[in-house]
Structure 1
Amino acid sequence: MNIFTWNINGIRARKEALAAWLDSRKPDIVVLEEIKAQVSEIPETIRDFAGYRKFWNGSTFKKGYSGVGLLVRDGSLDEFTCEPPPFDIENRTLVLHAPQFTLIGTYVPRGDGEERYAVKLRYLADLKAFIAELLTEGREVILLGDINVALRDIDVHRSQNKPGAIGLRPEERAAIEAHLGLGLLDIVRELNPDKKDLFTWWPNWKFARERNLGWRIDCIYLTPALARKVSGVSVDLDEKSSDHAPVSVKLSL
């Protein structure tokens, strides 16, 4: 089973690229972050794309802002449900419950400005409490999405590793560490412990992507029992239509 996360940075702007990507990659599950569209605004080419069940948490909080989607390929899961969780704010989260696992797709707030930074920390705390409850129930968990935190110095290019920068602050890194403290594993880093310049997002500076001046903020965290079933991870560097690259994990279930 191939499971992807991709911050698409506007599904209407990326409709042709997304359709071509779905056709070529054929993910079993993909979480799309920052769709920037209400459900009624999802492009027809995506809404009617064959072979997938589609779930949307559209940008009702603010027009053209946030929003997530989750697509499940026909035949990949026998039974499941998908809906926003109780703690969701600003159309940032979808949760899929299947017999094998619970998958949480998230678009964590960036946190610019002190008010928005407080929102980010509260969201991460609520997300952690939700995961802790699932683990108490004995569920296997996959958390994936645009986390908007570079956890380690190795996860951000040295040119942008500036103290106090949003995405690098001690409090937000500690919040992600608390998620991992529940027992989740950062599977991309686990399988690439010393790999430098392993990035998933690049600023909109001239030639930043070509020079790989990026951050690793799109992540997949999962419980140890699921981690033992992982046969590979990847960052799809060939897909360049968004400022984020798709990230995937392959599970042998």
Structure 2
Amino acid sequence: MKLVSWNVNGIRACVKKGFLDYFKEVDADIFCLQETKLQEGQIELELEGYHQYWNYALKKGYSGTAIFTKQQPLSVKYGVGDEQEEPEGRIITLEFDTFYMVNVYALNAKRDLSRLDERLEWEDKIRAYLVELDAVKPVVYCGDLNVAHQSRDLKNAKSNVGNSGFTMEEREKMTDLLAAGFLDTFRYFYPDKEGAYTWWSYMAKVRERNIGWRIDYFIVSERLQSHLIDADIHSHILGSDHCPIVLEMNL
């Protein structure tokens, strides 16, 4: 089984930059999007053989997630825990026979950290939700999680300490999640690899010089470890300020 996650930073713009060519080429069983930035009816994607699930933000041109899957899920949920509404369109959960697929566009603390407290509350809520699901069946959790966990997950760690996405508080929340029985799949395969990034600023020459951050993840229940085949970062794929990430599993 091949799974792909990609923050497309606006699916309509990404489609104009070759999204469908990549989608067909990668031939994923499940393809997750973050930051779709549109409302219902603003795009019609002809994806033969896929079921489509979209979570739109109430605010126009903002946030949003989607999942395209070859296999029809047993159930679909938008929101966390008992919440049935998710105004920023940040999460979709699909239930399959043997696992849950959770696609998330994590809350950004903002440059001035004005949403940091809200972000930390979000992290606690997401962790509790994933643990709750994991008690039923294994979880595959993916998306733009808006945090570089370790110093090797961004180019300029020292100068970014305390900045949004690299605060100690956000990093500790990722540590807490992994300690709750989950595995960062890329680090499982490549624990010491450096220069492996998934997001680059649009500033001139930043991507060409690979001054980036790894903030997109596939995280799975630890008991799925023996099912993992490989994790990859498709940094050569353009069309967004993020690149796609790929997880291959035997499920």
Contact 1:153 1:161 in 2 (8 A): no
Tell me the CA shift for residue 159 of structure 1. Answer: 6.5
CA contact (8 A) 2:141 2:219 kept: yes
- Kept in 1: contact 2:55–2:65 (CA 8 A): yes
Instruction: Name the CA distance, whole Å, in 2 between partners of 1:164 and 1:154.
Output: 16
Deviation above 6 Å: which 4+ runs of structure 1? Answer: none
Q: Which residue of 1 aligns with 2:66?
A: 69
Asked if the contact 1:85/1:94 (under 8 Å) is kept, the reply is yes
Aligned residues: 245
Matched, 1:80 2:79: no
User: Can you list the C-alpha shifts for 1:46-75, whole angstroms capped at 9, x where unaligned?
Assistant: 1x2212110000122x110000000002xx
- SS of residue matched to 1:144: strand
Within 5 Å, give how 1:17-166 maps onto structure 2.
17-41=18-42, 43-44=43-44, 46=45, 48-60=46-58, 62-73=59-70, 77=71, 79-86=73-80, 87=83, 88-112=86-110, 113-137=112-136, 139-158=137-156, 161-166=159-164
User: Is 1:211 the equivalent of 2:214?
Assistant: no
Q: d(CA) in 1 for partners of 2:201 and 2:73?
A: 39
Q: CA deviation at 1:80?
A: 2.6
In 1, are the aligned partners of 2:65 and 2:105 still within 8 Å (CA)? Answer: yes
Within 5 Å, which residues of 2 pair with 1:159-178?
161-178=159-176
The alignment partner of 2:38 has SS state of coil
Secondary structure at 2:213 match in 1 = coil
TM-score with structure 1 length normalisation?
Answer: 0.92
In the TM superposition, residue 201 of structure 1 has moved relative to its aligned partner by 0.4
Shift of 1:85: 2.6
For the Cα contact (< 8 Å) 2:73–2:94, is it kept in 1?
no
- Equivalent position of 2:244 in the other structure: 246
RMSD of Structure 2 on Structure 1 (CA): 1.5
Query: Is the CA contact (8 Å cut-off) linking 2:99 and 2:139 kept in structure 1?
Result: yes
Give 1:161 shift.
Answer: 4.0
Cα deviation, residue 20, structure 1: 1.2
CA contact (8 A) 1:94 1:104 kept: yes
On the 8 A contact 1:37/1:67 being kept in 2, the answer is yes
Q: How far does the alpha carbon of each residue in 1:161-217 deviate from its partner, in whole angstroms, 9 at most, with x for none?
A: 422111111111111111111110001011101111010000111111110000000
Deviation at 1:81, TM superposition (A): 2.0
- Say which SS state the counterpart of residue 12 (structure 1) adopts: helix
TM norm structure 2? 0.93
5+ residue gaps, structure 1:
none
Q: Which consecutive residues of structure 2, in runs of 5 or more, have no partner in the other structure?
A: none
1:39 CA drift (Å): 1.6
Alpha-carbon distance in structure 2 between the residues aligned to 1:36 and 1:142: 24
Q: How far apart, in 2, do the equivalents of 1:206 and 1:218 lie? A: 22
Counterpart residue number, 1:193 = 191
